[in-house]
Amino acid sequence: LLLQSWSNGINEAGKMALLAWEKETGIKLVQINGQRHYGGPPPGWEGGPPPPSTEVYIARLPQDIYENTLIPLFQSVGTLYEFRLMMTFSGLNRGFAYARYASLQDAQRAIATFHRFPLRRGCALVVCWSTQKHELVLSGLPASVGRQELEARLCMVTEGICSVTLHTSPCHRQAKLAVLKYSSHKAAALAKKVLMEGNLRLRKEGVRVDWLDPQLKKKLQLCEEEPSSSCVQEGKSLAVPRPAAMPLLLQNVLECLNAVCWKHHLRTPLFITKCVQVNPNGWQKFWYQVVIPGYHVPVSGFTWVSPDRQGQSKQEKAKVVAALHFLRVLGESLHSQLPAFPKLLSLL
């Protein structure tokens, strides 16, 4: 309560002016994960969204400036489809924003008009094309982590993930790094924020997340993705590459979960899955719940399911994530009684 009172007192006049502007114009701003949104689409918009190439990046904003100043300013040169202002916990802006226009011409006009625009005395804006980054790098991962386990964990805490590749870290041979590719820059930016807040638990502290640097990407492309297994033939070690779309089989995960339940005198798990959202690109968001008679609480959550999983239905993929979630919960509560659990999970 004291912290909330403190944050409410910061830039109080600016916040009151913003509220008055919202009431006067009827504009609704929505704040999610540290970003405050206008539009996407705006009121009265018809047709599909404009291409990502119509988005501009705005930097060097005074932190006490809000949408009541910025939206009318950037609307003056063209039709805004979306405006996103990055926010701090205290209610100040983080000094940068993104404006997506209805056309490429509007975006070009915004850059020509507002780059180096003196918003205040001694405060010139930076306005340029938005770099549409889709890839993140996770470094400092434990050497024992597997791609399928990591992908399942990421699906629990982020949305829009398209692929995960694991590599041996160039700096530390006993650690791994992962390249995460997301469906859009917006999805990747939200995932970066979530992961920076420590929402990914992988049996080790110190996991770091950042945008994938082009030089590192080029270096990793020269090396093959980490093999899933190896065999020896005529004295030579032959790496067997991991198939890109290798599914985590529901049968294997359920066998593991059933074995753990049997060992601890719990009954057969019951699964409930329900599709709650479908994106235009084919991704489906599932709600899931796992109930085990004899265990004190059910486990539930959400996961996004890729449209290109072969040999496995979307419901099966959702069940895989649900089963892995329950295994993690059981592993944390029963770790002292079941020391082999981490090893068992790593074999999936």
Q: Which CATH class is domain 1-129?
A: alpha beta
Superfamily per CATH, domain 135-212: RRM (RNA recognition motif) domain (3.30.70.330)
Helix or strand run (H / E) with residue 81: strand 80-87
Share of the chain above pLDDT 70, in %: 76
- The CA distance from 76 to 332, in Å, is 55
User: What's the fold here for domain 248-336?
Assistant: Double Stranded RNA Binding Domain (3.30.160)
What are the residue ranges of helices labelled H in the chain? 2-8, 12-25, 67-75, 104-114, 147-157, 185-196, 214-221, 250-263, 314-334, 341-346
pLDDT tens by residue, 293-319: 767 677 888 887 776 545 567 778 788
| Residue 322: CB atoms within 10 Å | 27
Provide the whole-model pTM: 0.52
What pairs with residue 142 in β-bridges? 175
CA gap 114, 6 in Å, rounded: 34
Q: What is the phi/psi pair of residue 10, to 5°?
A: -80, 125
Span 111-165, pLDDT tens digits: 999 999 999 888 899 999 988 788 999 888 887 777 877 887 787 778 888 888 8
How many C-alpha atoms does 336 have within 13 Å on its Cβ side?
1
Same fold, 1-129 and 135-212: yes
pLDDT, tens digit (0-9, with 9 covering 90-100), for 78-121: 999 999 999 888 889 989 999 999 999 999 999 999 999 999 88
Look at residue 272 and tell me whether its pLDDT is greater than 90. no
User: Given pLDDT bands bounded at 50, 70 and 90, which one contains residue 226?
Assistant: very low
The 10 Å Cβ neighbour count of residue 154 is: 24
The residue to which tokens 């996991």 are assigned:
207
DSSP per residue, 305-323: E-TT-TTS-HHHHHHHHHH
Domain ranges of the chain: 1-129, 135-212, 248-336
* Mean residue pLDDT across the chain: 77
